[in-house]
Amino acid sequence: MPIKGGQLKSIWYDAEACEVCVVDQTRLPHEFAIHRLRTLEDACEAITSMRVRGAPLIGVTAVFGVYLALRENPDSLEIAIKRLRETRPTAVNLHWALGRAARELSEQGHADAAGMSLAFALALAEEDAACCEALGGHGGELLRRLWREHCGQDRPLQVLTHCNAGALAAVDWGTALAAVYKAANAGVPLHVWVNETRPRNQGGALTCWELRQAGIDHSLIVDGAAGHVMASGLVDVCITGSDRVSAAGDVCNKIGTYQVALAARDNNLPFYAALPVSTIDFDWPSADEAIPIEERAAEEISLTSGIEAGGRETRVRQYPEETVVRNFAFDVTPARLVSGIITEHGVFDANRNSLAALANN
Ligand code: MRU
């Protein structure tokens, strides 16, 4: 992630302090703060409170959490994995990463459990960054082709995205935004429409912040404006990340994604999801079968926070306590609305036959 003239990852290990460092995403965009994880409970709190969020990053943070547990107690592998699995239910990367940690580390036994688990977490972080860079390459090529076909040299490619699927949501590069970054690096002029993504505003707070760091032209819109912007001819392509893709190509992602895909279809616009293969849940046959959809606290909707004129952070109540709130955090876009799934192995059709080629990766 480009920041302050340098390159930064969203999670890393500080070997001198023996601490895991993350960018505290609850502080952005007003403050860039580093948060340090020293214990298993620190890692669980960071995931649950969404200091770290985004499917790939949750998985990598959980595996660092396993290391933090094992360095306290080398016998705590099972209990740590159980605790970490409970932090957030929807993004399958969490379960995928913990499943891999369980297999790798239980085979190794207890000799130097902490050292092995740290090496595993560092390797997984590198693997995630490499996957995201590779899928960004395929997505970037797709955007470059769309630009040539639809815009010529005349105007920038207009991309619409939802939530934050950038470097902050992974270890580096991100998923949907990796495609944007790669296309921009290849000289494609772009403008990104960023859905605010109520109620936690990952679009307004995180995606806009990232795009500003990267120097990419963008405009923030409220979620309800996405259809209007598409119908006004201001969008060429929609691209989002995903928290879980079914074996049939249905895309679970941040609440509101389904409406973006519906509006894209009604306006004859392509809708792509970009994700590492670790986000495909081959045990989830299709959208006909329910998956756990996280429901978060009502306060995320009924309270809001911001910066006062004097710079002090403040929290205010938007809706009275009696207002009954349901805070669904994710939805499922059926495969029929998905133009393609962008992965580190290329772009695949959103159907069972096409995705089957990825099952053993
Ligand atoms: O609740 P969040 O912020 O963790 O949800 C994140 C998303 O829905 C992202 O779009 C998704 O994880 C893909 S990120 C690479």
Torsion of CA 13, 19, 25, 29, to 10 degrees: -90
Residue 166 CA to ligand 1 centre (angstroms): 9
Per-residue CA distances from 19 to 32, 123, 124, 196 (Å): 18, 16, 17, 33
The pair of three-digit structure tokens given for residue 325, joined into one six-digit string? 């709130």
Question: Looking at ligand 1, which atom is closest to the CA of residue 174?
Answer: 15
Ligand 1 atom with the smallest distance to the CA of 53 is 4
- pLDDT at position 3 is 80
Contact 204, 220 (CB under 8 A): yes
Q: How far is the CA of 153 from the centre of ligand 1 (A)?
A: 33
* Mean pLDDT value across residues 186-195: 98
Residue with tokens 């609850």: 26
CA of 60 to the centre of ligand 1 (A): 14
CA 263 – CA 271 distance, rounded (Å): 10
Q: Which amino acid is at 149?
A: E
Distance CA 86, CA 82 (A): 7
Instruction: With a cut of 90, say whether residue 170 has pLDDT above it.
Output: yes
Mutate to test the pocket of ligand 1, among 1, 173, 243, 279 (most ligand atoms within 8 A of CB): 243
Pocket test for ligand 1, best of 47, 135, 254 (most atoms within 8 A of CB): 254
Q: Which of 210, 132, 168 is nearest to 50 (CA)?
A: 168
Token duo for residue 228: 């209007």
Span from the CA of 254 to the centroid of ligand 1 (angstroms): 6
Between the CA of 241 and the centroid of ligand 1 the distance, in Å, is 7
Bridge partners (DSSP) of residue 21 are 12, 36
Rounded to 5 degrees, what angle do the CA atoms 169, 170, 171 make?
A: 135
Q: Write out residues with Cβ below 6 Å of ligand 1.
A: 53-56, 91, 163, 165, 169-170, 174-175, 202, 240-243, 253-254, 329
Q: Please give the distance of CA 9 from its chain centroid, rounded to a whole number.
A: 14
Integer Cα distance of 344 and 136 in angstroms: 8
Cβ atoms within 10 Å of 79's Cβ, excluding its own = 12
Q: Please choose from 48, 200, 242 the residue to mutate so as to test ligand 1's pocket, defined by most ligand atoms within 8 A of CB.
A: 242
DSSP assignment of 130-144, as one string? HHHHHHHHHHHHHHH
Contacts for 27 with CB less than 8 Å, ≥ 6 apart = 33
Owner of token pair 């207002």: 323
Q: Global pTM?
A: 0.97
In angstroms, the CA 351 to CA 361 distance is 17
Sign of the CA dihedral with 91 first, then 21, 127, and 204 last: positive
Residue ID of nearest Cα to ligand 1 atom 8:
254
The catalytic residue among 172, 243, 250, 281 is 243
Smallest CA separation from ligand 1 atom 14, residue:
165
Q: Is the pLDDT of residue 111 over 80?
A: no
* pLDDT band, very low/low/confident/very high, at 231 (cuts 50, 70, 90): very high
**Could you tell me which of 120, 33, 34 has the C-alpha nearest to residue 69?**
120
Quick count: other Cβ atoms within 10 Å of Cβ 289? 11
- Spatial separation of the C-alpha atoms in residues 209 and 203, rounded to whole Å: 9
Residue 253, strand partner residues: 331
**Whole-number pLDDT of residue 7:** 83
Give residue 360's pLDDT band: very low, low, confident or very high (50, 70, 90): confident
Q: Decide: 247 and 352 in contact? Cβ < 8 Å.
A: yes
CA of 242 to the centre of ligand 1 (A): 6
Q: Which H helix or E strand runs over 305?
A: strand 303-307
Strand locations in 55-131, DSSP E?
none
Give residue 150 CA to ligand 1 midpoint distance, Å: 29
- Residue 1's pLDDT band (cuts 50, 70, 90): confident
Chain-centre distance of CA 241, in angstroms?
Answer: 6
Of the listed ranges 118-122, 304-308, 352-356, the least confidently predicted one is 304-308
Q: Which residue from 251, 253, 280, 294 has its CB within 8 A of the most atoms of ligand 1, so it is best to mutate?
A: 253
User: Which residue CA neighbors atom 5 of ligand 1 most closely?
Assistant: 54
For residue 14, indicate whether it is catalytic.
no
Closest residue by Cα to residue 209 from 5, 52, 47, 31:
31
Q: Which atom of ligand 1 is nearest to the CA of 254?
A: 8
pLDDT digits (tens, 9 = 90+) for 33-59: 999 999 999 999 999 999 999 999 999
Q: Which two tokens stand for residue 149?
A: 């076909």
